[in-house]
Structure 1
């Protein structure tokens, strides 16, 4: 089985930039798998990354912490001919369909083939109905959706679509420094990381709020926050292009930020306390 990994914003870039971002995404996937001690084989094309792993649930957990991954699906891969696709879809339907359940086939096709997407849906749908005579098609609100994705000479059949964190690949957009002394600071750091920034964190020596961030960045750099809270030297040490703060409406001490020659961002400025708490729970539970 293969995990079909989708990315979002990367696809909007120029061909050259897209290739750079995709290579960074693949490298980050490999780094996180290696840190977890889980073996995987990766490959990619213009629109997908393919991750082959023996432990699908472990792979899912890891990929859910890779910035740039929009979603993923555990898929059965077959050759992109009607006979192979038919066998895979009928097998998937036999597992998923209970007597009387409704279903829909969602087809997507890239490349040149002797059939259209409509031909594919019609032919495979007929085969599923013959194998499951008590089931019927419902395209608007089906009990079961089966996806068929044909990419050149490769076919993929799957039912589940698992979300990823989205954003841009970590390390693709420069360096940053985040002050992490509480939950809000942790969320601000994470939001900077999600935009592709390699974020170093400054925290008190006894601070524990950075620990969840290590699961998102295996190369996380942690610096001791000085008692006076001044960031000038830390910005130099981290070679930061920006500072991320978990504050709202410039609550942060202006003396601390005074004289900084890099932009200062407050990513949570538009979030409620409940929204910050929800994001913090997501970060900590990943």
Structure 2
């Protein structure tokens, strides 16, 4: 199974910066999968990361903790010709539709093809209607949505879109030190991580308080907070460019 991984703010950057951020995102995905002992194969283009996995449920849980991921869809991949797309859509419709239900086709096309997105919607929608005469089309509030994404010579058919955490890839926006004494400090650290900062945590409460953050950063560095609260040496060790205090 292939999971389509979409990234959001990365698309607003220049091509060079976008490639750097995307490569960081891919590296972070690989780190979290390796930490969980789940095998995956990753590839990427200018707009998507493709994660090939055997265990979709575990992969979903992992990708839901990767900053920079906006959404995820488990998809069936086929060639981009109409016949292959038609077969995949009919297979998806057979699994998803029940008599009396309504459906909608949501096509998206990138690149040059001998058909338009409207052509896809008409052709594939009619194929579903002929195969399932007891269902109807409803483009505004369908019971079932079938998405078709064509990217060059690759076609992807899917129904589900799972939300990710968003933000920017961890480690793409410099380093920071987060002082974690309580839940507010942990939230501040998490928010800094979501904005792409590589966070080092300073705490006097040991690993237990910051353990939830390790689910988001397998390379999390934890430093002991000195009794006098002086952060100078910790800033040097962490090479921090900012400090998150998490005060209420």
User: Is TM more than 0.5 here?
Assistant: yes
- Output the CA distance in 2 between the equivalents of 1:234 and 1:205: 16
- Output the CA distance in 1 between the equivalents of 2:87 and 2:206: 58
Alpha-carbon offset, residue 207 of structure 1: 5.3
Secondary structure at the residue paired with 2:77? strand
Corresponding residue for residue 185 of structure 2: 185
- Output the CA distance in 2 between the equivalents of 1:226 and 1:148: 56
Query: How big is each residue's C-alpha offset from its partner over 1:86-131, in whole Å with a ceiling of 9 and x where there is no partner?
Result: 0000100111011100000101000110100000000000000111
Counterparts of 1:126-165 in structure 2, within 5 Å, are 126-165=126-165
**With structure 2 as the length reference, what TM-score do the two structures score?**
0.98
- Structure with larger RCO (C-alpha < 8 A, sep 6+): 2
Counterparts of 1:1-286 in structure 2, within 5 Å, are 1-206=1-206, 208-248=208-248
Alpha-carbon offset, residue 228 of structure 1: 2.1
Q: How many residues are paired up?
A: 248
- Output the CA distance in 2 between the equivalents of 1:51 and 1:167: 19
- Output the CA distance in 1 between the equivalents of 2:233 and 2:162: 42
**With structure 1 as the length reference, what TM-score do the two structures score?**
0.85
Secondary structure at the residue paired with 2:51? strand
Alpha-carbon distance change, 225 to 72 in structure 1, aligned in 2, over 3 angstroms? same
- Do the aligned partners of 1:202 and 1:224 also contact (CA within 8 Å) in 2? yes
Query: How big is each residue's C-alpha offset from its partner over 1:113-158, in whole Å with a ceiling of 9 and x where there is no partner?
Result: 0100000000000000111111000000000101000000000000
Alpha-carbon distance change, 59 to 207 in structure 1, aligned in 2, over 3 angstroms? closer
Corresponding residue for residue 256 of structure 1: none
Alpha-carbon distance change, 214 to 180 in structure 1, aligned in 2, over 3 angstroms? same
- Do the aligned partners of 1:181 and 1:207 also contact (CA within 8 Å) in 2? no
Q: Which runs of 5+ in 2 are unaligned?
A: none
- Output the CA distance in 2 between the equivalents of 1:121 and 1:40: 32
- Output the CA distance in 2 between the equivalents of 1:239 and 1:127: 59
4+ residue runs over 4 A deviation: none
Secondary structure at the residue paired with 1:189? helix
